[in-house]
Amino acid sequence: QVTLKESGPVLVKPTETLTLTCTVSGFSLSNARMGVSWIRQPPGKALEWLAHIFSNDEKSYSTSLKSRLTISKDTSKSQVVLTMTNMDPVDTATYYCARSYYGDSLPYFDYWGQGTLVTVSS
Amino acid sequence: DIQMTQSPSSLSASVGDRVTITCRASQTISTSLNWYQKKPGKAPKVLIYDAFTLHSGVPSRFSGSGSGTDFTLTISSLQLEDFATYYCQQSYSTPWTFGQGTKVEIK
């Protein structure tokens, strides 16, 4: 059974750095057909893709947030970590991690975590 | 970056209606287009991948079509549980991007 679970602070102050952890089970982060993305949704707004880490450790980032994001993984712990620096109230959102699956073609997000709401406020 | 534009942003429909949502990419993406359903307080669920392939367990009333830059999600007969927000997402090239969403509301 594939599961993903996000963990991290529920409240951060402006200018602080957010660190979120996605703990996965039911698959390996070294599986060539799979990767993990972070995606967020501010209240009342659309989904926004943030970052992705591939099985070979290659990374990709949102263009607008690239300077603030770092994604990494610890395969032995089955964890993917996202850090976002210089947090601002506009970063208040529910943050999801999701597995990308490469079937016969290009990937799609087939499993998602439950999401974690992060509020940025002093 | 590839921009994804959905229309309409919202629509009102009744149970049993046929509903069509469109998604346009700012450049050609072949069939690298996925559709997700999002309900409040729940994680998104994939409905369609590769533009027209129904994900396992998704009811057959959902279908997808299109290639290149123009895509469509169709719900053939809207059910109560289908009232939600729908997002398209391109996986043709990183950075991957989502559309702004289409909210399907009860008329």
DSSP tag of A45: S
- Chain A residues in contact with B45 (beta carbon < 8 A): 112
Mutate to test the interface with B, among A3, A33, A41, A47 (most CBs of B within 10 A): A47
3-state helix, strand, coil in chain A (%, to 5): 5, 50, 40
Mean residue pLDDT across chain B: 97
Q: How far apart are CA A12 and CA A58, in angstroms?
A: 28
Handedness of CA B8, B34, A97, B85 (dihedral sign): positive
Residues of A in contact with B94 (CB under 8 A): 52, 60
Neighbouring C-beta atoms of residue B95, cutoff 10 Å:
18
Say yes or no: A62 contacts chain B, CB-CB below 8 A.
yes
pLDDT(A119) > 80: yes
Percent of chain B exceeding pLDDT 70 equals 100
Peptide bond into B44 cis (omega under 30): no
Q: How many CB atoms lie within 10 A of CB A108?
A: 26
Of B49, B98, B100, the CB nearest to A108: B49
pLDDT mean over A4-11: 98
**Distance between start and end Cα atoms, chain B:** 36
Q: How does pLDDT run across A60-114, given as a tens digit for each residue?
A: 999 999 999 999 999 999 999 999 999 999 999 999 999 999 877 789 999 999 9
Please report which confidence band the pLDDT of residue B2 belongs to, taking 50, 70 and 90 as the band edges: very high
Report whether the peptide linkage leading into residue B8 is cis, meaning its omega lies within 30 degrees of zero: yes
Query: Stretch B62-86: mean pLDDT, rounded?
Result: 97
Number of Cβ pairs < 8 A linking chain A and chain B: 67
Using an 8 Å CB-CB cutoff, list chain A residues near B46.
108-110
Residue A105: what pLDDT? 77
d(CA A102, CA A80): 18
Eight-state DSSP code of residue A63: T
At A20-70, the pLDDT tens digits run 999 999 999 999 999 999 999 999 999 999 999 999 999 999 999 999 999
Closest chain A CA to residue B102: A46
